[in-house]
Structures are given as structure tokens and as C-alpha cells.
Amino acid sequence: MYAKNMLLAATGAAALLVATGTQAQTIDYGMLQDAFGQAVTTGATGKPQVQSDAPAAMHIITAEDIKASGLDNLPDILGRVAGVDVLRWGAASADVAVRGYNQAGNPRLLVLVNGRQVYADHYALVTWSAIPVQLSEIRQIEVVKGPVGAIYGFNAVAGVVNIITYNPLYDTAGAATARFGNHGQREIGLSKAMKLNDKLGARFSAGYKEADEFEQGRLSSFDRLSMRDPESLSASGAVMAQLTDTIQGGIEVTHSDVKQLEMMPSAVYTFQHFKTTSAKVDLTADAGAIGLVNFTAYRNWLDFDYSSIGSSNVTTTVAQLSDLIQFGTDHTVKLTGEFRHNEMDQFLSEARGSIGYDVWAVSGMWDWKVTPTLSFTNAARLDFFEMKPDGIGTFPRPASSYDVSRTKASFNSGLVYKPTDVDTVRATYGLANQLASLVELGGLYGTQTVAPGVRLYILGNPDLKPSEITSFELGYTRALPAINGNAGINLFRQKTDNVKAFLGADTLIINRVPVLTVVNGGESKSWGAEVEVEGKTDAGVSYGVSYTFTDINDNLTVNRGAAPTRPVLFEGATPRHKVEGKVGYTLGALTAQANLSYQSSRTLLKAPAALQPLTAVKIDGYWSAGATIGYQFESGTEIRLTGTDMLRPDTLTVPGLRTERRLYATVSQKF
């Protein structure tokens, strides 16, 4: 079989590991990790490979890492990774960014669950609490840092987070969880992955969570109108089958229902109600000399309602066909074709038409094992974009201005050199494109009366150019057998052209009519470094420390007056310094971990109400600490106590609600 031949071509831990592509979950991660002594990933190139071979800066969070942290949500778990920044807006809402440029409704990070995007296309953001996955069913989280547009297409401009669950064809794992704590926190969850027989497996999960919203903070009267407590409900189910000796198939359905306070891209709070549903099919065939062929198709449905803005719905349909082929022992090629259709009902509009677009894409990845110690990977992608409006409000623009077509190219290239068994040097280049959201292109349309007989139009901008992000990176990692650990450093330089500047308080004149609309707002450059050391001792002590430096310089064509008029500010918005440290201890069934972190000051924008001038708010640097301790009985029952933000009752981390100290207990039962 092709997969077996690929595996036989392996040479030590640098082997080429092929079972399928990124978009299908048919890899036995556990078996491969045990065989090669390190995590296996598909996140950097779309082909399976050991983490040290990946031509990208990567961090893999394992199921053991998630459990040891004691944390109850994805943003806080990701926030402990070097180069990752989290803005915690409320008890349930947060924005996550990689290598800076975080903002309300951050559009730069693509997030996937088993290859299906959970990135919402209406505002181009991620509602983390709406991701229909339980922490107990996650095998690993792959964090790819830097633009990887040639692999994933539009919007993978800061990086990619791919959440991978247990595969029921290979894994048996299950847990029931109950969690309760101060500030009204209550949560229950259930997950199970199981083999039904040798050729059939099933996975399902469900959960419910509620808590009191944060209480302290600098909120305007407009913000206070949206204050309510968050709650979320989710469920998912999947069936995977070994249809023949060479063909696997899978079906997955998910649903989530989330209500929470949210910081909008306009820098004001609103209460949102999100309902998401998805259906996905996978088919993977070992076609011998033709290669490993994978077909994936999914549809996402999103119904959203913002208390201060309005409601609408979005459908996202994606179909992808890929072929992973090995030529000899040194060359691997992956060819991919993809179709995407996004559509949204225009909201704030009496016409209630729809706006959407089609994207046809072709891409290719070539991995060349130049020598046993040097590999060279290149990928290129072409995206053909065509907008499709239907009955939307467009005045004062002519309707024909929304008939837009574009062609954009993305590239990734990387060299990985291993001069010794313990040293790895990496040099990479990336070019990716950030597509405007459906709202920005024309999904938002309305009017405001600013004077008797004078109406101000609010509309999208079909002429908005995609932002273009280029990145250069050098990385070095070294295994440290003396401490049973490793150390690494990454240096990066990025540039963003055609920065998107969302709606603000300033007007433009279009066909002699004043309008509020989205514009391109100049350029921004950044550079930085990430340094990490981690290890563990034979006595059960584990430890890790990381330092992140980020420097951003804007050259914007907006916000040039005394007061910012648009919610776009990157220079100074990302902490220049971030330190993360942890110490863990395991003694039999007892585990404990303590964390200490520091981030320097930052300046973030906040508006008192929608479409009003903004204020730059300085957030002082601060330390934070957390701790967890757990005991697992022989029956599989675990009791765990966790505390976050332990140094003070509440902390100002954003220009809004203050993050509160949370204490909670978790009881889980394996089955």
C-alpha cells in the first residue's frame, strides 16, 4: 500500500510520514508519535511529518498539556504559547493573535477543527466559545506561526490553529466532566471516541457552560446596555469507516448555541447570539502509484444576532480534492484544487438582498529531501475570486461596482537543515493574502439621519484590496538530553500592505454623498523574537520558560488627527515583552502545576458608542499567576482544583471589563 511504502521510506525521526493530507483526519497520531518520539503534524505543509521537520515555527499543545494546565477554555490555553497574544474582553469572549496585530474581532488567524474552518466569514473572526469541541476530546492543537497562505488560502496570514480530536478508528478515549466555581461558573461535558469494530468508529461530544459576566471595568452607558451573563451549548458527532483496505470515509455534524458579551470590530461591546451548524464528509483513497487521494467537503451555517446592530446568516461551502504523491524516496508533491462559496444576507438593509463570492483555487506543494540533513519545501497557490451580489442595497454606489473579480497568488518556501542529531536550523519565507470580510465587502448597509433631511449611508466597500502579508523567518532548535528537553529561538520580520481600516467616525464622499465605509489604511511592519526552553527531570519535575519580543511600526493613512476615528492601531497595541513560565510536579497519581506570566504595557482603542471617535487607552504592564492541583484515582476519576489571575481580585487587561480571579473545581471520569 502507498501509506506503508511511504512509511518504509522513513529514515529515523526525519522520516516522511504519509497517511493523508491536512483536510482529512486519517492519521494514527498516537502510533506515529510513539514510533518517532515526537509529535507528528500536517499543519505546516499539508503532509504528515514529524514536528522537527516542519518548515515553519510550530508549537504543538498535547492532550497531556491541556490536562496539566487545568484551564477550561481554548484562548487561555493558547495564551501560554510564545508569540501568542490574548485579549480577554469578558468571561467568555476573547481574541487570539499570533505575532501581534491583535484587535477586537481579530481577522488574521485561521482556526480549524480537523481541517474544517470555524473561522466565521461575516466579520472574519473566531468566536472561541462557539467552537463545538470539548477539551477532553482534543488529541493535540497545532499552532503554526507566520503566513501559510499557499497551504490554506485566504486569511491564514498570521498563522493557523488546527484543533485535532481523537480518531475513533485508532483511539479509544472518553470522559465525563463537571466543573463549578466562583462567579457562578457551572459546566458539564461529555466526550467519547470508540471503535465499534475493526472497520468502524464513532465519536461524539456535548457540553454546556454558564458563568457570571465580569463586573468591574470602564464601560460606557452604551456598553452597559449589552451586559448579560454568557452561556454556551454544543454537540458534535462523527462516524469514520474503513470502507475497503485502501479507502476510508467519514461524516461529521456539529452544532453550537452561544450567548455572550462581545467586543465588536468597531470597538464597542454588544451582546451576541451565535448559532452554528456544520456538516462534513471525508473520503481518502490509497491509489497506489497515483498517490493518496483525498476529497473533503463541508458546509457551515451561521445565524447571528447582535443586540445593538441586527441579525443575519452566513453559509460557507468548501469542497477540496487533493493528491499526495511520492516520487522515489526524496520527493513528495501535493496537488490541490478547492472551491469555496460564501454567502450572507445583507443586514441593516430594507432590501435584504445577499452578498457572496466564489473562490476557485489551485495549489501545489513540493518537498525535496536534498540530502539526509537538508530538506527544501516550496508551495504556491492561486486564488480566483469573484463577488456575487444579489439584490443588495448599494446606493450611492452603482450596483455594477459590486461585480468584482480578483486573482491573488500566495507562496511559502522553507529550508530545514539538521547539521547534527540535536540541532535544527530553519529559514522560511511566506506571502499570504487577507481577504475582506463579507460585512466589509457589502454585507452591511444602512443609513443614519445626521440632520433634518440629511442621511448618512453606511455600506461596505467592494473596492477594498486584500491585505498582503510577507514574512521572513530564521529559527534554531536544539535538543538538550541533559535536561530531557529542548531550547529554541525564532526571529521574524513581517510587512502588511493594504491594512484594512474598519468603519469609524470619519466620512467619505462617494458620488457626492457622505458615507461611512471600510478603507485600506496604509502599511505596517513588525519584527520580533521568540525564545523557549523546556525540560523535565526523572524526579517528576517539569518546567518551561519563554520570552516573546514584538515591535510594530505603523505607516497608516488613517487616524492622522488628534483623536483616532477608526478602530485600527497596531503600533503599541501589542506588548513588546511577554514572559511565560511554568513548573509542574508529578508524584504518582498527584499532579500540580504553577504558572507565572508577565506582559508589558500596551495601548488599545475604545469607542464610547458605535461610529464615534475613539480613545487610546494605556494598559499598564502586569504580572499574573495561576495554579492547579489534581489527583486521579485508580477508577479513572480525577479531582482538580484550579485558580487563575491569583495575584489580585481583578486586573485591567483591556479597555473594558477587568479580568477577574476565577477559582473552580473539576471532577472528571474516564470511560
Whole-prediction pTM: 0.94
Q: Please, which pLDDT band fits residue 22 given cuts at 50, 70 and 90?
A: very low
**pLDDT of residue 126 exceeding 80:** yes
Residue found under cell 538530553 = 481
Domain ranges of the chain: 2-670
Residue 665 has which C-alpha cell? 473545581
Residue 478 has which C-alpha cell? 536544539
Chain mean position to CA 131: 11
pLDDT (average), residues 529-540 = 96
pLDDT (average), residues 212-227 = 93
User: Percent helix, strand and coil across the chain, each rounded to 5?
Assistant: 10, 55, 35
How far is Cα 625 from Cα 599, in angstroms, rounded to an integer? 12
Residue 629: exposed, middle, or buried by beta-carbon count in 10 A (0-12, 13-18, 19+)?
A: middle
How far is Cα 114 from Cα 171, in angstroms, rounded to an integer? 15
**57 neighbors 84 (Cβ within 8 angstroms):** no
Condensed to tens digits (0 to 9), the pLDDT of residues 291-317 reads 999 999 999 999 999 998 899 999 999
How far is Cα 621 from Cα 100, in angstroms, rounded to an integer? 16
Enumerate the β-bridge partners of residue 344: 314, 355
- For 291: left if phi > 0, alpha if psi spans -120 to 50, otherwise beta; the answer is left
**pLDDT of residue 12 exceeding 80:** no
At 29, which helix (H) or strand (E)? helix 29-36
38-42, 162-166, 412-416: least confidently modelled range: 38-42
Q: What is the pLDDT of residue 7?
A: 32
Count CB neighbours of 499 within 10 A.
23
At 65, which helix (H) or strand (E)? helix 63-69
**252 neighbors 114 (Cβ within 8 angstroms):** yes
Q: β-strands 109-113, 159-165: how paired?
A: parallel
How far is Cα 575 from Cα 43, in angstroms, rounded to an integer? 27
Q: Please, which pLDDT band fits residue 38 given cuts at 50, 70 and 90?
A: confident
Burial 377-407 (b: 16+ CB within 10 A, else e): bbbbbebebebebeebbbeebeeeebebeee
CA–CA distance from 285 to each of 293, 327, 488 (Å)? 5, 18, 38
E strands, 350-422, in order: 354-371, 374-390, 405-417
Condensed to tens digits (0 to 9), the pLDDT of residues 586-616 reads 999 999 999 999 999 999 999 999 889 999 9
User: How many residues would you count in the chain?
Assistant: 671
Enumerate the β-bridge partners of residue 487: 478, 533
Q: What are phi and psi of 150, to 5 degrees?
A: -70, -20
How far is Cα 289 from Cα 267, in angstroms, rounded to an integer? 54
Q: What is the pLDDT of residue 654?
A: 97
**502 neighbors 266 (Cβ within 8 angstroms):** yes
Enumerate the β-bridge partners of residue 337: 321, 362
Q: What is the pLDDT of residue 2?
A: 33
**133 neighbors 164 (Cβ within 8 angstroms):** no
How far is Cα 231 from Cα 273, in angstroms, rounded to an integer? 10
Q: Please, which pLDDT band fits residue 35 given cuts at 50, 70 and 90?
A: confident
DSSP structural state of residue 5: H
Condensed to tens digits (0 to 9), the pLDDT of residues 127-186 reads 999 999 999 999 999 999 999 999 999 889 999 999 999 999 999 999 999 999 999 999
Residue 492: exposed, middle, or buried by beta-carbon count in 10 A (0-12, 13-18, 19+)?
A: buried
How far is Cα 650 from Cα 660, in angstroms, rounded to an integer? 4
Q: What are phi and psi of 420, to 5 degrees?
A: -135, 180
How far is Cα 639 from Cα 629, in angstroms, rounded to an integer? 8
Q: Mean pLDDT across the chain, nearest whole number?
A: 93
Q: Please, which pLDDT band fits residue 334 given cuts at 50, 70 and 90?
A: very high
**pLDDT of residue 15 exceeding 50:** no
pLDDT (average), residues 185-197 = 97
How far is Cα 89 from Cα 104, in angstroms, rounded to an integer? 9
**153 neighbors 359 (Cβ within 8 angstroms):** yes
**pLDDT of residue 14 exceeding 70:** no
At 651, which helix (H) or strand (E)? strand 650-651
End-to-end CA distance of the chain: 34
Count CB neighbours of 469 within 10 A.
27
How far is Cα 58 from Cα 114, in angstroms, rounded to an integer? 17
CA angle in degrees (0–180, nearest 5) for 69-72-73 = 105
pLDDT (average), residues 212-224 = 93
In the chain, the largest separation of any two C-alpha atoms, in whole Å, equals 78
Q: What is the pLDDT of residue 622?
A: 98
Condensed to tens digits (0 to 9), the pLDDT of residues 77-106 reads 999 999 999 999 999 999 999 999 999 999
Residue 414: exposed, middle, or buried by beta-carbon count in 10 A (0-12, 13-18, 19+)?
A: buried
How far is Cα 280 from Cα 282, in angstroms, rounded to an integer? 7
Q: Please, which pLDDT band fits residue 5 given cuts at 50, 70 and 90?
A: very low
Q: Which amino acid is at 590?
A: L
**pLDDT of residue 542 exceeding 70:** yes
- R_g of the chain, CA atoms, integer Å: 24
**307 neighbors 226 (Cβ within 8 angstroms):** yes
Q: What is the pLDDT of residue 26?
A: 65
Residue found under cell 457622505 = 514
**pLDDT of residue 21 exceeding 90:** no
How far is Cα 112 from Cα 74, in angstroms, rounded to an integer? 13
Architecture label for domain 2-670: Beta Barrel (2.40)
